[in-house]
Amino acid sequence: MIPSKRLYLLLLLGMAVAPVTAILFNQPITLITLTLFDFILCSLAVWDGVRVKPHRVNITRYPLKKLSIGRDNNITILVESGKQKANIILHDDYPSDFTISPPALSTKLEPHKNQELTYSVNPNKRGEFQWGNIQVRQLGKWGLAWDQWQIPASQLVTVYPDLVGLRSLSIRLALENTGTMRQKRRLGMGTEFSELREYGIGDDPRLIDWKATARRSRPLVKVLEPETEQTLIILLDRGRLMTAQVQGVKRFDCGLNATLSLALAGLSRGDRVGVGVFDRQVSTWIPPERGQHRLSKFIETLAPIQPILVEADYVEAVNRLVNQQTRRALVVMITDIVDRTASGELLAALARLRPRYLPFCVTLRDPLVDQLANAASVSGENKQIHEKISAAYSRAVAIDLLSQREVAFAELKQKGVLVLDAPANQITTELIDKYLHLKSRNLL
């Protein structure tokens, strides 16, 4: 039994009213009288809490499925009342490192009613985590005490990469296959012949099939579509640079989400997709194959991998790729760049892929660096001098970091390497857009 706020207020009210009553009726206040009042009130509270037990609500947490890192995952709990009204508070035993909203659930139910209560959990780590029991408090009929108990609901839950984002991307790609991609074929953006159709306003006259036009006595144009069954290789760095956290999530997890999303896009476009994860050596290698069923293999194989504090060997990763992949391919390396000097090995390794392959360097920038570089100068008389100096120094360092990165990117572009540098939390969207652009332009 846990006392309620009403009980505490009544006890305080008794202590406040007693002196007033004594003054009005000219009667002395005795300790026995106050003790008796408190005893009666506490006894009623205990009885109020005990009476809840036969009318406890039924609590059921729906089975927890795969959770996505960095996303709000909804957890639903079903509450069913008995013969009496129920005023309850729930607290689920979730992993303490996760962000929860709201941390506690409460509701009031009429007799023989049920209600679903939902809270969201935002995991910042991948792996297996233990959910515990559900703590329940139900208020007594008089509102003097809470009856508290727990519902056994222990469950082991796995946090995966961004599965929610993959589902959204899958829908987007499906819509583009039926809509936007048709529009691209009408515009002649492709190399493979698909079909013949009548000439329409805005069509390229160069696509007119004159033989078919002569046979049918009306202008017909060739419908072209982007070439399929190309090869896409994704190399994901899991070395020291990928262990840093960006907005509460490791840079490697952002790269892993981008890797799976790019693999999904490649498979949906009919490409052969392979993935390699490397540090000092290539620790995981999935040979390129085509087929939508491959995505589940990518998820199950890559989900347990964690970054480690060692320097990545880019030359070793490229050597492994060259030995494993003999045909031309789009090679996407997801990593990060510090400056020209520190990333010299990366630049040399990517340059080696030209001209046999089409190298594509994708780097995950920290949004905080952008924020510091673009921040306005600290001003105002109320600002202390050391605050102004600190802000100016942080801004200067951020600007220098960005400029050093630009020097490295300029050298990569000069060597024929495609470059995408974007904030880590936005990299997936920009990478998919860039890949679809490359496919539509037949740059591979």
Write down all domains in the chain, each with its CATH number in brackets: 1-160 (2.60.40.10), 192-225 (no CATH), 231-440 (3.40.50.410)
C-alpha separations of 52 from 144, 152, 372 in Å: 11, 19, 56
CA atoms within 13 A on the CB side of 255: 35
Report the candidate in 430, 444, 415, 240 with the shortest Cα–Cα distance to residue 335. Answer: 240
Q: In what order do the strands lie in the sheet with 86-92?
A: 2-3, 145-151, 134-139, 86-92, 105-109
Q: From CA 79, how far away is CA 62, in angstroms rounded?
A: 11
Q: Which amino acid is present at 184?
A: K
Paired with 156 in beta bridges are: 130
Mean pLDDT score of the chain: 85
C-alpha separations of 141 from 48, 57, 191 in Å: 7, 14, 76
Neighbouring residues of 419: CB distance < 8 A, sequence distance ≥ 6: 360, 361, 363, 409, 412, 413
Share of the chain above pLDDT 70, in %: 88
Instruction: Evaluate whether 360 touches 331 at the Cβ level (below 8 Å).
Output: yes
- 302-344 pLDDT, tens digit each: 999 999 999 999 999 999 999 988 888 999 999 998 877 778 8
Average pLDDT over residues 129-141: 93
Q: From CA 444, how far away is CA 436, in angstroms rounded?
A: 11
Q: From CA 247, how far away is CA 69, in angstroms rounded?
A: 13
Residue 34's H or E segment, with its range, is helix 31-50
Instruction: Evaluate whether 100 touches 121 at the Cβ level (below 8 Å).
Output: yes
DSSP state of 117: E
Least confident of 67-71, 178-182, 246-250: 178-182
- 285-299 pLDDT, tens digit each: 999 999 888 999 999
Confidence category of residue 181, pLDDT binned at 50, 70, 90: very low
Tell whether the model's pLDDT for residue 194 goes beyond 90: no
Question: What pLDDT shows up at residue 320?
Answer: 92
Share of the chain above pLDDT 90, in %: 47
SS percent in the chain: helix, strand, coil, step 5: 40, 30, 30
Choice between 279 and 22, residue whose per-residue pLDDT is larger: 279
Choice between 397 and 336, residue whose per-residue pLDDT is larger: 336
Tell whether the model's pLDDT for residue 380 goes beyond 70: no
Residue with tokens 């506490």: 42
Number of residues that make up the chain: 444
C-alpha separations of 403 from 158, 222, 375, 413, 418 in Å: 40, 47, 16, 15, 18
Q: From CA 303, how far away is CA 292, in angstroms rounded?
A: 18
Q: From CA 230, how far away is CA 14, in angstroms rounded?
A: 83
Tell whether the model's pLDDT for residue 252 goes beyond 90: yes
- 25-37 pLDDT, tens digit each: 565 655 677 778 7
Question: What pLDDT shows up at residue 188?
Answer: 44
Q: Which of 63-77, 175-189, 205-219, 386-400 has the highest mean pLDDT?
A: 63-77
Q: From CA 296, how far away is CA 35, in angstroms rounded?
A: 69
Instruction: Evaluate whether 69 touches 159 at the Cβ level (below 8 Å).
Output: yes
